[in-house]
């Protein structure tokens, strides 16, 4: 089981954080994105893409979520869209 989050930031940057529950090791990945219609194309800094991710995501506004695509679609990651008003 994992504890992950995906955050879009100003200037077309993003942050992806993953932690395997029960372990102290965490990984944080940063990069930039481009948005084409409802598809996010992710470019990770240093080409260190997390294992299993494809570098593509889908913004499903009808469900208010972002889906990060995995090479095995069974493991696609779903994140709720929230707006940080800070």
CA distance 85 to 24: 30
Residue range 7-29, pLDDT digits in tens: 999 999 999 998 877 766 788 99
Q: Tell me the domain boundaries of the chain.
A: 2-80
pLDDT of residue 48: 83
* pLDDT range class, residue 49, cuts 50, 70, 90: confident
Task: Considering only residues 24 and 64, tell me which one the structure prediction assigns the higher pLDDT.
Answer: 64
For residue 54, report the phi and psi dihedrals to the nearest 5 degrees: -95, -15
| Overall average pLDDT of the 32-45 stretch | 96
* 3-class secondary structure, 67: strand
């Amino acid at each position: 089981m994992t504890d992950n989050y995906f955050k879009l930031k100003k200037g077309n940057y993003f942050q992806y954080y993953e932690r395997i529950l029960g372990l102290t090791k965490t990984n944080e990945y940063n990069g930039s994105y481009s948005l084409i219609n409802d598809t996010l194309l992710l470019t990770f800094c240093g080409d260190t893409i997390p294992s299993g991710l494809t570098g593509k995501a889908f913004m499903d506004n009808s469900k208010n979520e972002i889906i990060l695509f995995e090479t095995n679609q069974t493991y696609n990651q779903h994140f709720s869209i929230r707006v940080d008003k800070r």
